[in-house]
């Protein structure tokens, strides 16, 4: 019996009026995959100065209803989280990812803030995670999955606080891919899940009325930490 695979592939080749590709042609395509090249890249995300990139990132993130707070140092993370929870009348309790960026954070110093590591539970009201990069072009946060950063932390709790070192802000999607290829790799080492988050969850499915917090978080708060370099 011919497998579905063979049937589909031969139907494609028939449709294209040719047989399987020859080695030369395949090598050409292989090169296109091995050395990916950028297509047109918008100027919006291309900026020479770090301050310019950060400013674009903040402006774009705020356009999509994220809130951004700039911190002078990692010491300010715990108090800023406590303030955010207080401001929104939330319990002083967060589920925290195990990212390196939190290594030196002393959560309990910020009043009665409780921080627990691990995957998100159904009734968690807020999570705090790191991000691999911020992408200025659209105010997007790029998060990688891994043993220390389970994906559900980004989706289950209705409040998501993301800590992003300023040094992790890149300009464009291509810049983000470039960094990922260089530092992590896109082969077998590529993380299982790469999530780009651009603002809090939303829907307009009822009468085209925009509502925040559909299935994912209702609030997305970014703590942009100065002086800190890349989390990786």
Partner 1 sequence: MQSTARAFTANARQALDDAKLQVALARFPEGFPVKRRLAVERLPEFEALRDDAKEIKDHVLAHLDYYLERFEAKVAERGGQVHWCSDAEEARTLLVKLCRDAGATTITKAKSMIGEEIGVNDCLEEAGFKPVETDLGEYIIQLRHEPPSHIIAPAVHLSKDQVAEAFRAAHKDLPDDRPLNEPQEMLDEARAVLRRAFLSSSVGITGANMLVAETGSIVLVTNEGNADLTQTIPPVQIVIASIEKIVPTLEDAATVLRVLARSATGQDLSVYTTFTTGPRRSGDLDGPQHFHVILLDNGRTRMLGGEFREMLRCIRCGACINHCPVYGAIGGHAYGWVYSGPMGAVLIPNLIGVDEAKDLPNASTLCGRCEEVCPMRIPLPRLLRKLRDQQFEAGQVPPLFRYGLRWWARLARWPALYRLATGAGVATLGRLGRRKGRFRKMPFAGGWTNARDLPAPQGRTFQQWWSAEKGVRQ
Do residues 197 and 143 lie in contact, with contact meaning Cβ atoms separated by under 8 Å? yes
Give the Cα separation of 65 and 221 in Å (integer): 9
Q: Which two tokens stand for residue 149?
A: 């950063």
Minimum CB separation of residue 99 from partner 1 in Å reads 13
Nearer to partner 1, 14 or 51 (CB): 14
Give the Cα separation of 131 and 64 in Å (integer): 18
Secondary structure (3-state) at 11: helix
DSSP 8-state code for residue 167: G
Residue 14: Cβ-neighbour burial (10 angstroms; 0-12, 13-18, 19+): exposed
Nearer to partner 1, 15 or 72 (CB): 15
Q: 18-51 burial by CB neighbour count: b if 16+ within 10 A, else e?
A: eeeeeeeeeeeeeeeeeeeeeeeeeeebbbeeee
């Amino acid at each position: 019996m011919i497998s579905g695979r063979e049937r589909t592939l031969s139907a494609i080749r028939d449709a294209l009026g040719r047989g399987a590709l020859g080695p030369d042609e395949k090598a050409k395509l292989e090169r296109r995959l091995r050395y990916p090249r950028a297509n047109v890249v918008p100027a919006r995300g291309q900026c020479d100065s770090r301050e310019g990139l950060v400013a674009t990132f903040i402006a774009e993130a705020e356009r999509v209803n994220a809130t951004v707070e700039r911190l002078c140092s990692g010491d300010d993370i715990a108090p800023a989280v406590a303030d955010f929870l207080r401001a929104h009348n939330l319990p002083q309790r967060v589920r925290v990812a195990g990212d390196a960026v939190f290594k030196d954070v002393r959560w309990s110093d910020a009043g009665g803030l409780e921080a627990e590591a691990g995957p998100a539970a159904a009734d968690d009201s807020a999570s705090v995670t790191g991000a691999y990069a911020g992408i200025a072009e659209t105010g997007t946060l790029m998060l990688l999955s891994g043993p220390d950063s389970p994906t559900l932390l980004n989706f289950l709790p209705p409040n998501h606080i993301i800590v992003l070192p300023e040094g992790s802000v890149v300009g464009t999607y291509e810049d983000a891919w470039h960094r990922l290829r260089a530092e992590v790799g896109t082969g077998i080492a590529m993380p299982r899940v790469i999530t780009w988050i651009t603002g809090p969850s939303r829907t307009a499915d009822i009468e085209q009325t925009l509502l925040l917090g559909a299935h994912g978080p209702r609030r997305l708060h970014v703590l942009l930490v100065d002086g800190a370099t890349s989390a990786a």
